[in-house]
Amino acid sequence: MISSLVKELKYEKAFELFRDVNRDNGFTVDCFTISTLLTACSGCFALMEGRAVHAHAIRAGFETNLSVKNALIGFYTKCGSIKDVAALLERMPVRDIITWTEMITAYMAFGYVDLAVEIFDKMPEKNCISYNALLAGFCKNGKAVEALDLFVKMVEQGLVLTDFTLTSVVNACGLLMEAELSEQIYGFVTKCGFGSNACIEAALVDMWTRCGRMADAEKMFHRWPSDKDGSIIWTSMLCGYARNGQPERAISLFHLCQSEGRVVADEVMLTSVLSVCGTLGFLEMGKQIHGLVLKTGFSSDVLVANSLINMYFKCGNINNAITTFHATPLHDIVSWNTLIAGHLLHRQGDEALAVWSRMENSSIKPDAVSFALIISAYKYTNSNSVDSCRNLFLSMKAIYEIEPTSEHYASLVGVLGYWGFLEEAEEIINRMPFEPKASVWRALLDSCRIHSNTTIGKRVAKHIISMEPQDPSTYVLVSNLYSASGRWPNAEMVREDMRGKGFQKHPSRSWIIHQNKVHSFYVRDKSHPQEKDIYSGLEILILECLKAGYVPDTSFVLHEVEEHQKKDFLFYHSAKLAATYGLLTTRHGQPIRIVKNILICGDCHSFLKYVSVVTRREIFFRDASGFHHILNGQCSCKDYW
């Protein structure tokens, strides 16, 4: 009876019935029912119920039953702690190779890599499964180098390599993201004659995409037989496209998968495609997938829910994001972080801080990401609360016992810099207890751009370039810094320097979603089918804005050309093209929604403010800094971004 209730997903009733039986000391439930109940408890994080079932199993003498034991390990791995799993295994009457291996897997699942290694070294006997368990554990914890070392040892010792071994090695290589090594590993796997093992093939697709070898990934993906279950390999490919800056392809793949109907979208695929919808700002599609999530019953999966919340925020729908958060039965730290990040994306610092207080009253403890986020919230508070920000930073270590990393310093520097405390920010970096990553200096350089401070900016840029001479983004920042302060010749010098070193700027791109399609524009892009309408529309728009007082700022043109040509470059920036397309394709009174992959330039920002006046339209512009909500000539970023 209890088992059938669980099967029908009526957990509450099943637990109730179990409690009745449990109270009556004369009765015990059988091993199968105990296992079923434990699986149910794992599914809904019912720690108390699971513990009660465990106590019952001990009383009935079923703890050592193989299926009960496995269910208990599964339950404690998901809902409990490593102590629970360790205590359970300690009580097993026989400590054989299987128990030892289970210990390794458990320690690895909880992230205790050193303890797992200790157990492995202490084991009186080892076989290839124990090696595989350790190998997989390294991969699970991102220890690719350790995994590869172990693999080499296995080969040297002549151990039997199974499909499990090869899958883990492929995984390790994906973690390293090294294209050349991936070639070698692939050669090795082929030599071993892995045949058509689904796990290895899926791992290979994932590895290729992580190493940037999309053609190889596609080749393997297309070889997948259509009669075989493909949800995993399809998701690998979909995420691969997303990871390699091809979100449109990821969306097409999802459409294909839906229309062909042979691969059913599961919770992992839905999570991934929702993330892509967020990246693109694809609200309509995101809503449709939300419908699918509700229909398929995946809305209680916390990862799916978090991805939904994130999607709504990135698509500009704050209300749906918050409603989805409240509709989710179980929140983890990522749910809270997503909520905070969402408010920050909309520059709502006070709202983010309010969420922070609510989180502090919940049972969830903030993690390192929470702090990186909440420190940044002080950029967007209504009153200058730099003091509170400094205190929060200090409390990290003092109260929460989280050691600040470069990311946290970068957030703090960003806030101080934003409010104009550039010297203090520089001082903090110089006094950091460890070597700062380039990202910390970059946060300060960004502040120098905002405040047009070339004195500090130049110093900071030197640091970054010496640390990361290969990274073109610094040159762009320095160049923009000079441009923003009207020092055009210097900006061009930096550009020249960049060209001399063979760097190419990450191409700037803006897009609009219209009729379920992404309409993307680069600077001076003429590839759109409605190119003529867009360019003539933009001509008119520019004239209207000039009449209203718009003054083109040619310092944002990063090419050495004549003044009249500069305007030509400036007028056809991707943001302006996308905005015009948005005006042409939406009815009067409808807002325009644009997304840009990097920061919007100062001239486009000023232009869009005039556009909002002359067309009486509301503009939602999302760039790398967050949303610019432009209305009646004013922007929510207060012209600091």
Partner DNA sequence: GTAGGGTTAG
Q: Binders of DNA among 398-457, rule CB under 7 A?
A: 407, 410-411, 439, 442-443
> Is residue 17 within the footprint of DNA (CB under 7 A)?
no
From the CB of 158, what's the least distance to DNA, in Å?
Answer: 17
Instruction: Specify the residue, 275 or 381, whose C-beta has the smaller distance to DNA.
Output: 275
Name the segment binding DNA (CB under 7 A); options: 45-53, 126-134, 539-547, 553-561: 126-134
Instruction: Specify the residue, 140 or 528, whose C-beta has the smaller distance to DNA.
Output: 140
Whole-angstrom Cα distance, residue 381 to residue 167?
48
From the CB of 170, what's the least distance to DNA, in Å?
Answer: 8
Name residues contacting DNA, limited to 481-500 (CB under 7 A).
none
Name the segment binding DNA (CB under 7 A); options: 3-11, 121-129, 391-399, 588-596: 121-129
Name the segment binding DNA (CB under 7 A); options: 227-235, 473-481, 511-519, 580-588: 227-235
> Is residue 164 within the footprint of DNA (CB under 7 A)?
yes
Phi-psi region of 413 (alpha: psi -120 to 50; beta: other; left: phi over 0): alpha
* Options 163, 350, 468, 544; binder of DNA; rule CB under 7 A: 163
Alpha-helical (H) ranges within 549-621 are: 563-571, 574-585, 602-614
Name residues contacting DNA, limited to 36-55 (CB under 7 A).
none
Query: Exposed, middle or buried by CB within 10 Å (0-12, 13-18, 19+), for 307?
Result: buried
* Options 47, 97, 177, 402; binder of DNA; rule CB under 7 A: 97
Whole-angstrom Cα distance, residue 601 to residue 564?
19
Instruction: Specify the residue, 303 or 465, whose C-beta has the smaller distance to DNA.
Output: 303
Instruction: Specify the residue, 445 or 534, whose C-beta has the smaller distance to DNA.
Output: 445
From the CB of 610, what's the least distance to DNA, in Å?
Answer: 28
Instruction: Specify the residue, 207 or 558, whose C-beta has the smaller distance to DNA.
Output: 207
Whole-angstrom Cα distance, residue 595 to residue 518?
10
Whole-angstrom Cα distance, residue 571 to residue 604?
8
C-alpha torsion sign, points 91, 92, 97, 98? negative
Beta-ladder partners of 634: 631
> Is residue 146 within the footprint of DNA (CB under 7 A)?
no
Whole-angstrom Cα distance, residue 23 to residue 552?
79
From the CB of 142, what's the least distance to DNA, in Å?
Answer: 11
The letter for the amino acid at 356 is W
From the CB of 433, what's the least distance to DNA, in Å?
Answer: 19
Instruction: Specify the residue, 275 or 483, whose C-beta has the smaller distance to DNA.
Output: 275
CA distances, 428 to each of 118, 191, 433, 591 (Å): 40, 54, 10, 42
Whole-angstrom Cα distance, residue 378 to residue 109?
36
From the CB of 237, what's the least distance to DNA, in Å?
Answer: 9
Q: How many CA atoms lie within 13 A of 374 on its CB side?
A: 27
From the CB of 19, what's the least distance to DNA, in Å?
Answer: 29
> Is residue 168 within the footprint of DNA (CB under 7 A)?
yes
> Is residue 120 within the footprint of DNA (CB under 7 A)?
no
Whole-angstrom Cα distance, residue 601 to residue 576?
11
* Options 49, 63, 146, 206; binder of DNA; rule CB under 7 A: 206
From the CB of 218, what's the least distance to DNA, in Å?
Answer: 15
Question: What 3-state class would DSSP assign to 623?
Answer: strand
* Options 60, 179, 199, 584; binder of DNA; rule CB under 7 A: 199
* Options 63, 201, 525, 603; binder of DNA; rule CB under 7 A: 201
* Options 159, 302, 546, 584; binder of DNA; rule CB under 7 A: 302
- Measured N-to-C along each axis, helices 231-243 and 247-260 cross at an angle, to the nearest 10 degrees, of 160
Name residues contacting DNA, limited to 578-637 (CB under 7 A).
none
Are 609 and 630 in contact by the 8 Å Cβ rule? The answer is yes
In this structure, the number of other CB atoms found within 10 A of the CB of residue 56 comes to 20
Instruction: Specify the residue, 60 or 199, whose C-beta has the smaller distance to DNA.
Output: 199
> Is residue 35 within the footprint of DNA (CB under 7 A)?
no
Whole-angstrom Cα distance, residue 51 to residue 301?
22
Instruction: Compose the 306-345 pattern: x for residues touching DNA by CB under 7 A, - for all others.
Output: xx--x---------------------xxxx-xx--x--xx
* Options 75, 100, 120, 627; binder of DNA; rule CB under 7 A: 100
> Is residue 63 within the footprint of DNA (CB under 7 A)?
no
- Which long-range contacts link 499-506 to residues 24+ away (Cβ below 8 Å)? 501/469, 503/472, 503/475, 504/472, 505/472, 505/476, 506/472, 506/473, 506/476, 506/597, 506/598
**Cα end-to-end span (Å), the chain:** 61
**How many residues contact DNA, by CB under 7 A?**
75
Name residues contacting DNA, limited to 510-569 (CB under 7 A).
none
Name residues contacting DNA, limited to 228-287 (CB under 7 A).
231-236, 239, 242, 266-272, 275, 278
Q: Which residues have a Cβ under 8 Å from the Cβ of 595 and sit 6 or more positions away?
A: 280, 281, 510, 511, 512, 621, 622, 623
Instruction: Specify the residue, 194 or 475, whose C-beta has the smaller distance to DNA.
Output: 194
Question: What φ, ψ does residue 67 adopt, rounded to 5°?
Answer: -75, -35
Whole-angstrom Cα distance, residue 603 to residue 297?
47
Name residues contacting DNA, limited to 338-377 (CB under 7 A).
338, 341, 344-345, 368-369, 372-373, 376
Question: What φ, ψ does residue 594 adopt, rounded to 5°?
Answer: -125, 145
* Options 98, 327, 493, 518; binder of DNA; rule CB under 7 A: 98
* Options 6, 29, 53, 133; binder of DNA; rule CB under 7 A: 133
